[in-house]
Amino acid sequence: MKIGVLTGGGDCPGLNAVIRGVVRKSLLLGYEVVGIKNGWRGLLDKNYYTLDHAAISGILHRGGTILGSSRTNLYEKGKNYYQQAIDNYKEIGLDALIAIGGEDTLGVASKLYKDGLNVVGVPKTIDNDLSGTDYTFGFDTAVNIATDAIDRLHTTAESHNRVIVVEVMGRHAGWIALYSGLAGGADITLIPEKPFKIKDVCDVIRTRHARGKLFSIVVVSEGAKINTEDEHDKDGSFVLQNLKKDSFGHVALGGIGNIVAEEIEKETGYETRAVVLGHIQRGGTPTAADRVLGSRFGIKATELVEAKDFGKMVALNGAKIVSVSLEEAVGTLKTVDDETYNEAQTLFG
Ligand code: F6P
């Protein structure tokens, strides 16, 4: 059995733990593993190398991915990439392919499975927005980094009687914002699922002032949307960093933190600063939880290959690692539900 493994999309802490889990389990089963470089791009370029014990030694605690990553859409309209990828899969002599990625990478994996390849998916993203799994690895690390930042910003906000707006990642899902806001004791958390009014944010801050709390921390997700007073704009729209789309059609979000900070200062008169955490949330050492989840996902993915149970994605269900249909998992995004939001909202202010 010859298995290929690749990592696609934005990198995230814990990827190396998955790769190690795949290789260690495969070697125990007597399989050969090749690492395909730079996501789907590597399958197009036939850019791969053998992963043996030496290749995966000392990588468990390292962030990023030893295989490299890219946002390559094999099914981009007008291109014939997927046919080339299928031909290369056969030419390399692969019996199965383990794709580690988020909605985009796994969306391609699901289509390749329908086009006849033996594919298994592993859910990866700091955004935690994949359906079918309770959590993705990388999320815990991102939340811990954001929480540490909020803790630090608290002490400086308090010293200067300032409002500090912290912008976190998460694309169209507010999980990172909500969890780090909860853990860090944010005074209000703004997420894409709940378009907000600046006036309401300012009311929370003013109420705190009236209680003698002269500083506030506002966590805002990069995808949060401002609901203006205009009745045609009640759902708001995304703030974009630039309009250039990647090959999956995504624009770069970001910049809402600065806008929210300016508006708060204008409306309340309180000195306000904005901090954008950006890619710091994706870098560095994975937490123990992400190393464990990644390792378990890697082992389970290899077991699915052994059982020839293709077209599946490994997933966390409670404390158990299970498998779900890849097609269903990539069908809809998992966004923040009302119940979870309402819990968090109880602690605003
Ligand atoms: O999906 C992970 C993520 O970090 C999102 O939270 C963010 O919007 C996006 O990737 C950033 O992408 P890039 O690394 O291409 O700037």
pLDDT of residue 204: 98
Closest approach atom of ligand 1 to CA 102: 1
88: CA distance to ligand 1 center in Å? 28
Residues in the chain: 349
Burial bucket for residue 246 (CB in 10 Å: 0-12, 13-18, 19+): middle
Kindly give the confidence (pLDDT) of every residue in the chain, 349 residues in length, as a single tens digit, with 9 standing for 90 and above: 999 999 999 999 999 999 999 999 999 999 999 999 999 999 999 999 999 999 999 999 999 999 999 999 999 999 999 999 999 999 999 999 999 999 999 999 999 999 999 999 999 999 999 999 999 999 999 999 999 999 999 999 999 999 999 999 999 999 999 999 999 999 999 999 999 999 999 999 999 999 999 999 999 999 999 988 776 777 888 888 877 788 898 889 999 999 999 999 999 999 999 999 999 999 999 999 999 999 999 999 999 999 999 999 999 999 999 999 999 999 999 999 999 999 999 999 9
Give the whole-angstrom CA distance, residue 245 versus residue 248. Answer: 7
What does DSSP say about strands 320-325 and 312-317: parallel, antiparallel, or unpaired?
Answer: antiparallel
pLDDT of residue 240: 83
240: CA distance to ligand 1 center in Å? 13
Give the whole-angstrom CA distance, residue 85 versus residue 53. Answer: 27
Closest approach atom of ligand 1 to CA 246: 15
The Cβ-side half-sphere exposure at 24, using a 13 Å CA radius, reads 18
Structure pTM?
0.96
pLDDT of residue 202: 98
Closest approach atom of ligand 1 to CA 223: 8
Ligand 1 binding residues, C-beta < 6 A: 10, 102, 125-127, 169-171, 222, 252-253, 282
Nearest CA to ligand 1 atom 13: 10
The full set of domains in the chain, from first to last, is: 2-137+286-331 (3.40.50.450), 141-283 (3.40.50.460)
Residue-by-residue DSSP string for 272-309: EEEEE-GGGGG-SPPPHHHHHHHHHHHHHHHHHHHTT-
Which residues form the catalytic set?
A: 127
279: CA distance to ligand 1 center in Å? 8
Tell me the three state secondary structure of residue 246: coil
10: CA distance to ligand 1 center in Å? 6
Give the residue among 128, 63, 39 at the shortest CA–CA distance from 283: 63
Is the torsion defined by CA of 193, 297, 313, 246 positive or negative? positive
Give the whole-angstrom CA distance, residue 27 versus residue 324. Answer: 25
Copy the structure tokens of residue 206.
Answer: 């003013």
- Residue of 100, 126, 277 to mutate, ligand 1, most atoms within 8 A of C-beta: 126
E-strand ranges in 85-143 read 96-101, 119-123
Query: Does residue 305 contact residue 114 with C-beta atoms inside 8 Å?
Result: no
Axis crossing angle, helix 81-92 with helix 103-114, rounded to the nearest 10: 70
